[in-house]
Each structure stands twice: as structure tokens, then as C-alpha cells.
């Protein structure tokens, strides 16, 4: 019975390691896609339709703190689901 427990432990470590790599790569790709100005403009359009007079992009077409917070939440939800 001891041999079974010894063999099972390295498999778990490898499994967690591959999950961490997969999550890191997915987070990297999502950040590259969702941190662009076009993504923030689309997010601004969605929020301006849902909530009147709610701007998440300032006059210089830069994302505000709340826009970055919303985008980070979207990335976290996607990573949690996958």
C-alpha cells in the first residue's frame, strides 16, 4: 500500500504544474487581446448602452481605472471557468 501512495504523489505534482502553465499562457493571451484600446472601446459601447452617461474611456481615449478593473474581472472569470 505504501508503494501506491509514493507513486501517486509525483503525478499530482505534474498535474498541478501543467495546470499552472496552461493558466499562465491563457492569462497571457487574454491580457494581450483584452488590453487593447479596441477592446476598451467595445466595453465602453456596452456600458454606455446598459448604463446611461457612464464613460469608462476619458477624453484622451485612455481607459480609466474602473475600465481596467472591469476588464481584469472579465479575465479572472474566464480563467476561473477554464
Q: Report the pLDDT value the prediction gives residue 3, as an integer from 0 to 100.
A: 55
Domain chopping of the chain, boundaries: 2-81
Q: Report the pLDDT value the prediction gives residue 11, as an integer from 0 to 100.
A: 61
Are 40 and 67 a contacting pair, CB within 8 Å? yes
Q: Report the pLDDT value the prediction gives residue 59, as an integer from 0 to 100.
A: 87
Q: Report the pLDDT value the prediction gives residue 12, as an integer from 0 to 100.
A: 66
Q: What does pTM read for this prediction? A: 0.66
Q: Report the pLDDT value the prediction gives residue 9, as an integer from 0 to 100.
A: 58
First CA to last CA distance, the chain: 35
Question: Average pLDDT for consecutive 10-residue bins of the chain (82 residues)?
Answer: 55 74 89 87 87 84 88 88 81
Among residues 37, 14, 19, the alpha carbon closest in space to that of 82 is found at: 19
Amino acid at each position: 500500500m505504501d508503494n501506491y501512495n509514493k507513486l501517486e504523489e509525483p503525478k499530482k505534482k505534474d498535474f498541478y504544474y501543467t495546470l499552472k502553465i496552461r493558466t499562465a499562457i491563457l492569462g497571457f493571451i487574454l491580457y494581450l487581446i483584452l488590453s487593447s484600446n479596441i477592446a476598451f472601446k467595445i466595453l465602453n459601447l456596452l456600458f454606455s448602452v446598459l448604463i446611461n452617461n457612464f464613460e469608462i474611456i476619458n477624453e484622451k481615449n485612455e481607459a480609466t481605472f474602473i475600465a481596467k478593473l472591469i476588464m481584469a474581472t472579465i479575465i479572472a472569470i474566464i480563467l476561473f471557468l477554464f
